[in-house]
Amino acid sequence: MTHRHRGERLGELFRREFTRLLMGPLKDPRLEGVTVTEVRATRDLSFATVYVRSEDDVEEGIEALERAVGFIRRELGRSLRLRKIPEFRFLPDETPEHASRIEALLRQVRESDGQREG
């Protein structure tokens, strides 16, 4: 059986709490359509990277989250009853773009292989 380390478990917990905050207490209009897709926390909880997607401008969403980070940390400390809340770094989640780029490259390779055989 594999045991996820504490940072992974807490990362998932933080992701759920961010989602809850985005749906309720965070009132900034720049956060509409913003989704936290993943949170990666270090083992010692000193830092956590928060990956964000947005239906609109992801940079505006990140700015709004950075501006609200004090409130977010207080809320997470209260709701999760943790003594230590990490410093958060917000980054755009570019996973879908990377995945579609890889798919396009693979499609090109398959097409060129098909042309060589024919």
For the chain, domain boundaries:
6-117
What 3-state class would DSSP assign to 26?
coil
For 3-55, strand residue ranges (E) read: 34-41, 47-54
Determine the pLDDT at residue 3: 53
Cβ–Cβ under 8 Å, residues 65 and 72: yes
CB 52, CB 64: distance < 8 Å: no
Query: For position 109, what pLDDT does the model report?
Result: 78
| Structural fold of domain 6-117 | GMP Synthetase; Chain A, domain 3 (3.30.300)
**Per-residue tens of pLDDT for the chain, all 118 residues:** 445 677 788 889 999 999 999 999 998 999 999 999 999 998 888 999 999 999 889 999 999 999 999 999 999 999 988 888 999 999 999 876 656 667 777 777 778 777 665 5
- Fill in the DSSP letter of residue 30: G
Phi, psi of 60 (to 5 degrees): -65, -40
